[in-house]
């Protein structure tokens, strides 16, 4: 499956997904003394030389998200490699990266109008703004969150409810992270 590139925010770099490192020794993220299954991304910051990052895949599956996403600040980007997410400033050549919460990442949505990037895992949704985490939803599901639609001020989705043995709808207010609906695995029925 091809690696998705989504640069929805104004940005000060170019990116390219590579199938193999050519003439560049990739920066391994995280650092590893041995070769690991990874996603290779060539990053060219505005006015600076390009560099290649080798981002370790989280899991040996193609069922989880793999992609490169612009960050709301315009100078950083996120790489998601089979469920593991990394965020870093393009001009720092792979130094000072941070592993994103959640893990594994099952979905990514960008919301340029709100200056947010949203990540889902099996139970929660996390939103990040330009500089920091904006919010984390309460637990939405027993084990399975599907984002079905992103609108101006809301995220719509389905959450697995084990007690009802079905998916139930939820809606999140993107300004606050508060939600209605969803499964409530922590609540007694």
Domain ranges of the chain: 1-105, 109-189
Looking up tokens 């922590």 gives 186
pLDDT value at residue 31: 87
Question: What SS3 string covers 80-143?
Answer: EECCEEEEEEHHHCCCCCEECCCCCCCEEEEEHHHCEEEEECCCCEEEECCCCEEEECCCCCCC
Residue-wise DSSP of 18-61: ESS--SS-PEEES--SS---EEEEEEEETTS--EEEEEEPSSS-
- Percent of the chain at pLDDT above 90? 79
Tell me how far CA of residue 82 lies from CA of 55, 73, 149, 180, in angstroms.
10, 24, 22, 29
Structure confidence by residue, pLDDT tens digits, 80-101 = 999 999 999 999 999 899 999 8
Predicted pLDDT at 24: 67
pTM of the model: 0.92
Task: Evaluate the CA torsion angle 13, 2, 137, 88 in order and state its sign.
Answer: negative
Q: What is the pLDDT of residue 188?
A: 46
- With cut-offs at 50, 70 and 90, classify the pLDDT of residue 189: very low
pLDDT digit string (tens) for 17-68? 998 877 668 899 998 777 778 999 999 999 999 999 999 999 888 889 999 9
Tell which CATH classification among 2.40.10, 1.10.10, 3.10.350, 3.30.470 matches the domain 109-189: 2.40.10
Cβ contact 84:99 at 8 Å: yes
Q: How many residues does the chain have?
A: 189
pLDDT of residue 132: 87
pLDDT class for 108, splitting at 50, 70, 90? Answer: very high
- Please report the pLDDT score of residue 20 as a whole number: 82
Confidence at residue 22, expressed as pLDDT on a 0 to 100 scale: 72
Q: What's the chain's average pLDDT? A: 92
């Amino acid at each position: 499956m091809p690696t998705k590139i989504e640069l929805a925010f104004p940005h000060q770099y170019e990116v390219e997904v590579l199938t193999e490192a050519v003439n560049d020794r990739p920066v391994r993220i995280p650092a590893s003394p041995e070769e690991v299954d990874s996603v290779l991304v060539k990053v060219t910051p505005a006015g600076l030389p390009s560099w290649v990052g080798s981002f370790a895949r989280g899991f040996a599956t193609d069922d989880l998200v793999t992609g490169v996403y612009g960050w709301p600040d315009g100078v950083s980007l996120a790489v998601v490699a089979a469920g593991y997410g990394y965020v870093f400033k393009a001009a720092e050549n792979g130094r000072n990266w941070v592993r994103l919460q959640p893990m594994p990442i099952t979905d990514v949505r960008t919301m340029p109008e709100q200056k947010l990037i949203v990540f889902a895992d099996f139970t929660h949704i996390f939103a990040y703004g330009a500089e920091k985490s904006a919010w984390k939803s309460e637990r939405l599901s027993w084990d399975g969150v599907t984002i079905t639609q992103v609108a101006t001020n809301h995220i719509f989705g389905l959450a697995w409810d084990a007690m009802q043995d079905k998916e139930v709808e939820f809606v999140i207010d993107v300004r606050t992270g508060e939600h209605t609906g969803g499964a409530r695995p922590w609540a007694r029925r």
